[in-house]
Structure 1
């Protein structure tokens, strides 16, 4: 296991805007061997979020319709000509296991804030 990251203050944590979003589409990015483009519904807004899951799943489209946790207040980052406006939370990548989505235990309204 990796060591625990350096301690942060509670006020640092409150800067991160984590929300539940429903994955509406998963589109291939042909020029990338790792990345796919997600279209995510947060009720009041929709975001494009680029994630590196192409090698983690035989069929990345299997997550369409699922809710997951996303960071929605990251500065946009362009990858392969696509601006990504957030980050998908997954579980396992940093620990060296096949990642799974961080999901609510039961359906909640899209856009609900975590924390």
Structure 2
């Protein structure tokens, strides 16, 4: 059963070590619309997202199985993604980026990091 995000984090996680703005400038974070969500047959955790970034699309694998009763509920939603990570093969599929979510690292049911209102796909964060 999926837990709701109403759980309280009892202790704030420590802040990571400081980094320079030059490192932040290297990360390409963009808004994309999740067009489809498909099961990854060789994985107990992964689903495959087809994401529209306006001028390009990417396949991005995320560990959403078990976090949501129906991973397809994110279809049509905008979210933030890192689009300049090296492609990586997972469970026999190629992932071309990373979804930003909120909560996983703090052991609560993750939610999408989303713009407060719709913006053009491909819009950069930062």
Normalised by the size of structure 2, how large is the TM-score? Answer: 0.90
Q: Which runs of 5+ in 1 are unaligned?
A: none
Report 1:11-90 matches (<5 A): 11-90=22-101
Deviation >3 Å, runs of 4+: none
| Distance in structure 2 (CA, Å) of the matches to 1:94 and 1:42 | 26
Q: Which runs of 5+ in 2 are unaligned?
A: 1-11
Question: What CA deviation, in whole Å up to 9, does each residue of 1:34-90 have, x standing for no partner?
Answer: 000000000100000000011100100000000000000000010111110000000
Matched, 1:113 2:124: yes
| Distance in structure 2 (CA, Å) of the matches to 1:12 and 1:114 | 14
Q: Please tell me whether Structure 1 or Structure 2 has the larger radius of gyration of its CA atoms.
A: 2
What is the match of residue 98 of structure 1? 109
Q: Secondary structure at the match of 1:38?
A: strand
What is the match of residue 5 of structure 2? none
Alignment check: 8 A CA contact 2:42 2:92 kept: no
Cα shift at 1:16 = 0.3
Q: Would you say how many aligned residue pairs link Structure 1 and Structure 2?
A: 115
Normalised by the size of structure 1, how large is the TM-score? Answer: 0.98
Cα shift at 1:26 = 0.2
